[in-house]
Amino acid sequence: MDPTTLVLQATGGFVVGGLIGYALRKAAKWVLVAVGFMLLPVFGLWYLGLLSVNWEGVNEFVGRLVEWLGINLSSTVTAITTSGVFGISTVVGFLMGLAGLRHTALFIPRRRFVRRRVGE
């Protein structure tokens, strides 16, 4: 395969994965805040004794959710690993998008060479 095609596929996959990871990270923050605000009254009423929570049902639901995720993620991983350069670079970009570029080696902080004195 032509090296130019490989570079274009790797770059395109990385950019696409990074954008998807960044968007998912931002959306997840809002979803978690919304779920937290919805669960806050439930836990408050449960604490006061005004509401009864079926904890066995909650545990069963979480178990089914984890099982479903395990089945679907294993087929997704198989599809990505067989897709070649584009798939692998998409996964790398996705993970970096989720982590944010501030937490990676690509971010180089700007340093001041002259420090200001406090009170000037």
Distance, CA of 113 to CA of 26 (rounded, Å): 34
Quick one: pLDDT at residue 99? 81
pLDDT at residue 113, rounded to an integer = 61
Evaluate the CA torsion angle 85, 89, 92, 98 in order and state its sign.
negative
Map residue 111 onto helix, strand or coil. Answer: coil
Give the whole-angstrom CA distance, residue 98 versus residue 93. Answer: 9
pLDDT tens-digit series, residues 8-55: 888 888 888 888 888 998 899 999 999 999 989 988 998 898 988 888
**C-alpha to C-alpha distance for 109 and 119, rounded to whole angstroms:** 25
Q: What is the pLDDT of residue 119?
A: 66
Residue 6 has pLDDT above 60, yes or no: yes
Q: Which of 31-40, 64-73, 109-118 has the highest mean pLDDT?
A: 31-40
Asked if 87 contacts 81 with a C-beta cutoff of 8 angstroms, the reply is: yes
What is d(CA 53, CA 44) in angstroms, rounded to the nearest whole number? 12
Mean of pLDDT over the chain: 82
